Amino acid sequence: MNAGSQKFGTAPVFFTAISTILGAILFLRFGFALGTVGYVGVVLLILLGHIVTIPTALAISEIATNKRVEGGGEYFIISRSFGLNIGATIGIALYLSQSISVAFYVIAFTEAFQFFFDYIFQQTGLLLPRQVISIPVMLLLSWLILTKGANLGVKALYVVVGILALSLVLFFLGNTAYSETAVFNLSSIEFRNSNQFFFIFAIIFPAFTGMTAGVGLSGDLREPSKSIPMGTISATLIGMVLYFFITYKLYISASPEDLLNDQFIMSKIALWGGLFIPLGLAASTISSALGSVMVAPRTLQALAHDDSFPIQRMNRWLRFGRSNDHEPQHASLVTCGIALFFVAVGDVNLVAQIISMFFMITYGSLNLISFLNHFGSSPSYRPSFKSKWMLSLIGFLASVWVMFMINTAYTLIAFGIMVALYLYIDHVHKHRKGISSIFANTLFQINRSLQLFLQKSKLVKASGDWRPSAICISKSSFERDSAFKLTNWISYKYGFGTYLHRIDGYYSKATNQTAQEELAKLIRYYGEQSHVYVDTIISPSYTSAIAQSIQIPGISGMENNMLILEYDKENPIELDDILDNFRLVNAGNFDVCILASSRKPIIFKNGIHVWIKTSDEDNANLMIILSFILLGHPDWKQANIRIFNLCKEDTVDETREQMKALIENGRLPITPQNVTIITEDQHQSQKDLIGSHSSEAGLCIIGFRGDSGKSLDTSYFDGFDSMGNILFVHSHKQRILD
């Protein structure tokens, strides 16, 4: 839509909305509602309906003043807030409800010709179907909109709104014999048939849904940020006030019996009502139909501009605009075809319930967008018109609640259709995946609030409630993935992990660019199944990289308490650097895990072997807890834990009892059969003993001491050539298994 076609002001927005609000339900069903639930009941119905519509009108006005709303109105707002895939899902549902609305209003329009059907029946005994009038009217409307476009629709709006206004004025000027004796006071009003309240609400709710009708003209407005708020809010508030006055007028002008039994009771009340009330009904319904038949094609055209449909030829065909005025001619043709089908069906109640469900989804979405924008507090969200976040939240919750109150089955069907449609669109447009800024800003705020809460609350954890929050540092991320896998296993269920890919060098524009490229590669490389936060760190030395890493905050809100370092078991050139920096790490009270990565394949079903030696008094519990944590990952679902306890010959019985108590009190998934007590052999080294039992283990966990830092040398980590991956564990203090 070019600038030349964006030529309308505020009036079309207001008239499109008000003519839809004061439409078919007002003339045909409002008296029935009043006769059923009474004056108090209808007042509550009006208030409940506007609990949804007023926040929605305010939300639309707010969003429209933040940035230019282009063609597509509500669809444009939703898709630019939630992303194109979610936007297309809601947009298609919105478009269908808009196009079906055309049929709803045309079907209701035929009710204005009740006198004609009565006359034919009296003269011939023939009960004509409503389609005798509704189908020709729909065909005429289609011809007009396809040949004349929105200009004709806007001009016609002024005429029909004038007739609508005249019919309402005559209604208020009318009088009846009942009104001569009726008395209105607080003691006489009542709330009847409360058990039918939501049934009646379902019938009259479409009366309140017209306030967004004018938003679809956004692409044809000179100043959408001005016209949409003024037109939408004024129509909503004026409509609400008129509904209160109409309720009062009906209440004092007709008995409950007449209100229940005569759908044209307004014609009996109005001055010259036999002519002007059917004329007002015709005017309101045809204007609503005109509004919908102008708005729906623009939504469809906007969807096509965003390539929402799977076939590109279809998108190109639907986005076509007429050369002289850019009218969405092809989209209008499709809209008229859909409307004609539902006109032929002819069931007003069925059509009303269908459109109500999808309109409520739209209203809920608009309110949610406003609320999330408030909550996310993005600097780019600076609307000149501001609503309140509480109103938007109420509007969203009320929209969902009202859907279930209207019809639970229809609500579940509507949600089911939306989910299926989203999954299909998301599959077709995989390249458009990604979190939208509105969700990202919301997550940032939630994360910030949680982090501050955790820090300020100074939560003191019992020692038995310990869990790992690990940092892993590796520069060999693209050569071997053992370190990442270990961090991922720890982080899957019970712990938290940050994986840092180390880049040698000083921080500069060039190294920063390298870091960004390698981070993107890492995220692609390790896939969507990762449970680890991945990042890069630029540092000129291993020591400075460790010093930087152990000072960063934990991603979970709790302090990091474990450092994972890794080297190649077959080429252990990095082991010297690791051991040289052990004292630095130990100064921060970190548990240290040193992974000796093997090139042997991991045989998960062979389980995790934990070797506990006499010197592992502080390490033992941490080693056992880690084995339990690792077992929680699906990779290890067929594995079990085996514990080997090396002890002196004279302490075998004592060690066995200690292990039995540990298993029982620690509630670990280990049976006594999984515990092997091995006495130290003077003729066989510990390394050979470990190798003879665990050469085929999926992972072997061995403790090491490093209290002074001086006793650590590479010889302790050598001599395990027959084995696969080995995790050497040092606990800075003894863990209690609670």
Which residue would you say has higher pLDDT here, 226 or 370? 370
Query: Mapped to the 3 state alphabet, what secondary structure does 294-353 carry?
Result: HHHHHHHHHHHHCCCCCCHHHHHHHCCCCCCCCCCHHHHHHHHHHHHHHHHHCCHHHHHH
Closest CA to 581 of 548, 545, 543, 549: 543
Check residue 187 and give its pLDDT: 66
Q: What is the pLDDT of residues 654-704, one digit of tens each?
A: 888 877 777 776 556 677 788 888 888 777 788 888 999 999 999 999 999
**Out of 49-63, 199-213, 569-583, which region has the weakest mean confidence (pLDDT)?**
199-213
Most confident of 367-371, 377-381, 506-510: 506-510
Question: Is pLDDT at 461 greater than 70 in this prediction?
Answer: no
User: To the nearest whole number, what is the mean pLDDT of the chain?
Assistant: 82
The 3-state DSSP class for residue 192 equals: coil
Backbone φ and ψ of 215, nearest 5°: -65, -30
Check residue 5 and give its pLDDT: 47
Q: Which CATH architecture does the domain made up of 3-115+129-432 adopt?
A: Up-down Bundle (1.20)
Mean pLDDT confidence for 365-392: 81
Q: What is the pLDDT of residues 238-274, one digit of tens each?
A: 989 999 999 999 999 998 888 888 888 888 999 988 8
Which residue would you say has higher pLDDT here, 660 or 513? 513
Check residue 78 and give its pLDDT: 77
Q: What is the pLDDT of residues 468-481, one digit of tens each?
A: 889 999 999 888 99
Check residue 100 and give its pLDDT: 83
Q: Which pLDDT band, with edges at 50, 70 and 90, does 277 fall under?
A: confident
Check residue 360 and give its pLDDT: 81
Most confident of 294-298, 384-388, 418-422, 562-566: 562-566
CA dihedral 477, 483, 489, 490 (to 10 degrees): -120
Question: Is pLDDT at 27 greater than 50 in this prediction?
Answer: yes
Check residue 195 and give its pLDDT: 84
The 3-state DSSP class for residue 185 equals: coil
Where would I find the beta strands (DSSP E) of 586-671?
A: 591-597, 608-612, 641-647
Rounded CA gap, 706 and 728, in Å?
Answer: 11
Which residue would you say has higher pLDDT here, 362 or 641? 641
Check residue 463 and give its pLDDT: 47
Check residue 2 and give its pLDDT: 42
Question: Is pLDDT at 609 greater than 70 in this prediction?
Answer: yes
**Pick among 3.40.50.12370, 3.40.50.300, 3.20.10.10, 3.30.300.130: CATH of 463-730:** 3.40.50.12370
Rounded CA gap, 106 and 339, in Å?
Answer: 9
Most confident of 68-72, 285-289, 347-351: 285-289
Task: Give yes or no for a contact between 553 and 455, defined as CB atoms under 8 angstroms apart.
Answer: no
Which residue would you say has higher pLDDT here, 90 or 634? 634
- Domain ranges in the chain are 3-115+129-432, 463-730
Backbone φ and ψ of 505, nearest 5°: 135, 175
Check residue 457 and give its pLDDT: 63
Which residue would you say has higher pLDDT here, 433 or 179? 179
Check residue 191 and give its pLDDT: 86
Q: Which DSSP state fits 735?
A: P
Regarding beta strands 469-474 and 496-504, do their DSSP bridges make them parallel or antiparallel, or are they unpaired? parallel
Closest CA to 55 of 212, 224, 213, 268: 212
Q: Which DSSP state fits 601?
A: P
The enclosing H or E element of 534 equals: strand 533-539
Task: Give yes or no for a contact between 539 and 508, defined as CB atoms under 8 angstroms apart.
Answer: no
Find the angle CA(682)-CA(686)-CA(692) to the nearest 5 degrees. Answer: 110
Check residue 501 and give its pLDDT: 93
Check residue 62 and give its pLDDT: 81
* Cα-based distances in Å from 426 to 43, 91, 306, 443, 525: 43, 14, 14, 21, 22
Kindly give, in sequence order, each residue whose CB lies less than 8 Å from that of residue 154, ignoring residues fewer than 6 positions away: 8, 12, 294
DSSP H helices, 110-204, are: 114-124, 131-148, 150-173, 177-181, 197-204
Q: Which pLDDT band, with edges at 50, 70 and 90, does 81 fall under?
A: confident
Check residue 666 and give its pLDDT: 59
Q: Which pLDDT band, with edges at 50, 70 and 90, does 173 fall under?
A: very high
Q: What is the pLDDT of residues 423-448, one digit of tens each?
A: 888 888 877 765 566 777 777 777 77
Rounded CA gap, 128 and 110, in Å?
Answer: 12
Question: Is pLDDT at 150 greater than 60 in this prediction?
Answer: no
Mean pLDDT confidence for 60-71: 72
Return the percentage of the chain with pLDDT > 70, whole number: 88
Q: What is the pLDDT of residues 612-626, one digit of tens each?
A: 888 888 888 889 889
Check residue 3 and give its pLDDT: 40
Mean pLDDT confidence for 630-649: 89
